[in-house]
Amino acid sequence: MTAGLVTRLLPADRESVAEAGRTLNAGGLVAFPTETVYGLGADATNGPAIARLYAAKGRPAFNPLIAHVADVAGARALASFDAAAERLATAFWPGPLTLVLPKRPDCTVADLATAGLDSIAVRMPDHPVALDIVRALGRPVVAPSANRSGHVSPTTAAHVMADLRGLIDLILDGGPATVGVESTIVACLDRPALLRPGGLPRADIERVLGMPLAEPPPGAIELDAPLAPGMLASHYAPKAQLRLDAENVRPGEALLAFGVVPPGAERASRVLNLSVTADLVEAAANLFSYLRALDAINSPAIAVMKIPNEGLGEAINDRLARAAAPRG
């Protein structure tokens, strides 16, 4: 177990990136910025390090991890790319897209990280610190979002500190994540299928593929798949109850606004506006940080205004629905 560690927080620079590489090489756990959210990294080839990563997150070990690579060649060494996967990697990497592909027989990633599946999730993040850390280690880095299981994903180093202090070795602070929601996950195992809406809008992917994305095939692993029906709820869940598509504010509620605030907003215990100009890109970047901030004031309930389901709105609404789901 890693409990009781001294967690160091360092500004991301050349020296701390080199230190991150050494720490990962020694089997340690390092949180680092990506363009989507902060990740908690371990050496993808080191089974015991990955076991410690699952323990630090409090995450069930059968939920597989994304292998982060520094270039497309690094991903090709792990997974088989079909024509659709090649097109998507060319169009969107580095960027907020994860591809689930057939695992190559000679893939070096530990079985624990892929939960024994014959597929593997790979991603080349669009962040210089993340890419430099992968290069410093010289091997792929598996990294889930750097939160305790059941909390919203971290978009700042302070969020990581709040969740994982004492449980991991090192956090590199590279400022707030610019995208703010996790990567979009597309499986190219058969016909390309959307497994998780995220930081790359569906329409952009469908334009490059020239066809609509399929629904996930039966049996596909979903975002933090529940152990049993009814256990899904607590992922992404703040303590406060979320009331979605709110058109007003009820007494005692905090307000997570989008665009022009509704009647009664002055009564809210606190108001945070995801985007005053109703810009979905800005709203995605603010989402997790504002959910954490509103949760911290201990309001029993948070009214959330309606978010259009286009562009990044699909990912925002997916995360809000999870946060609002009844607790398991």
The verdict on 184 binding Mg ion (CB under 5 A) reads no
Cβ proximity to Mg ion, 145 vs 286, nearer residue: 145
Of the pair 16, 36, the CB lying nearest ligand TXA is at 36
Report the C-alpha gap between 61 and 112 in whole angstroms. Answer: 7
- Measured from the CB of residue 265, what is the shortest distance to Mg ion in angstroms? 31
245 CB-near residues (< 8 Å, 6+ apart): 304, 305, 306
From the list 13-21, 30-38, 156-164, 308-316, the region that binds ligand TXA by CB under 6 A is: 30-38
- Of 100, 124, 157, 294, the residue at the interface with ligand TXA (CB under 6 A) is 100
Q: Is 145 in the site for ligand TXA (CB under 6 A)?
A: yes
User: ω before 251 within 30° of 0 (cis)?
Assistant: no
Query: Mask of contacts with Mg ion, 136-155, x by CB under 5 A?
Result: ---------x----------
Q: Does 155 bind ligand TXA (CB under 6 A)?
A: no
Query: How far is it, in rounded angstroms, from Cα 198 to Cα 315?
Result: 5
**CB atoms < 10 A from the CB of 154, how many?**
29
Shortest distance in whole angstroms from residue 186 CB to ligand TXA: 10
* Cβ-proximal residues to 83 (8 Å cutoff; 6+ apart), any chain: none
Q: How far is the CB of 164 from ligand TXA (least distance, A)?
A: 13
Output the CA–CA distances (angstroms, integers) from residue 160 to 5, 289, 292, in the order listed. 15, 11, 12
DSSP reduced 3-state for 99 = strand
Q: What does the alpha-carbon distance between residue 130 and residue 162 come to, in Å, rounded to a whole number?
A: 21
Q: Which is nearer to ligand TXA, 45 or 98 (CB)?
A: 98
Which candidate, 181, 120, 124, 195, places its Cα nearest to that of 153? 181
121 binds, among ligand TXA, Mg ion, none (CB under 5 to 8 A by kind): ligand TXA
* Closest of 193, 189, 184, 186 to residue 82, by C-alpha: 189
Size of the site for ligand TXA (CB under 6 A): 28
- CA trace torsion 213, 180, 247, 297 (10° rounding): 140
Shortest distance, CB of residue 61 to Mg ion, whole angstroms? 14
45 lines the binding site for ligand TXA (CB under 6 A): no
Which residues would be at the binding site for ligand TXA (CB under 6 A)? 34, 36-37, 39, 63-66, 98, 100, 114, 117, 119-121, 123, 125, 143-145, 182-183, 185, 195, 220-221, 223-224
Binding site for Mg ion (CB under 5 A): 145
